[in-house]
Amino acid sequence: MGSKEIRPPSSLDIIKWLMVGCVIAIGVAGNIYFDSYSLAIRASILILLAIVAGLIALTTHKGALLWSFLMDSRIELRKVVWPTRQETVQMSMMLIILISIMSIVLWGIDSLFTYLVGLVIM
């Protein structure tokens, strides 16, 4: 994992998760109560409340673990060697050709079985 040590869970985490739940509940109840207001205003407030809930959640032990995981994932993503445009086009063309050939083969097998079943039934 990352080089930063993560603190152990504390009893305040339960209070923080309750606060997150309350913020979400306030957002849902407010959205229902103020349904006559503009959708843009309500959506903006809901986005703001979601950000607040997310920031509160990040201060918990599980939130710190999630943040550490995301940062480690970002580091690993930078290590990936991405294919060039030419490689991507060549592999895509190979896949299209392979899928076309397999489709024709499966169509042929299906047609053969249909013909054989037709001979047996009649």
Q: What is the DSSP letter of 7?
A: P
Reported as a single tens digit per residue, the pLDDT across 21-72 is: 999 999 999 999 999 999 999 999 999 999 999 999 999 999 999 999 999 9
CA atoms of 108 and 100, how far apart (whole Å): 12
Question: Of 15-19, 89-93, 105-109, which range is least confident?
Answer: 15-19
- What is the rounded distance in angstroms from the CA atom of residue 44 to the CA atom of residue 107? 53
Confidence of residue 122 (pLDDT cuts 50, 70, 90): confident
Q: Domain-by-domain residue ranges, the chain? A: 1-80, 82-122
pTM: 0.58
60 CB-contact burial (10 Å; exposed 0-12 / middle 13-18 / buried 19+) = buried
Question: What's the confidence (pLDDT) of residue 69?
Answer: 95
Confidence (pLDDT) at 3: 53
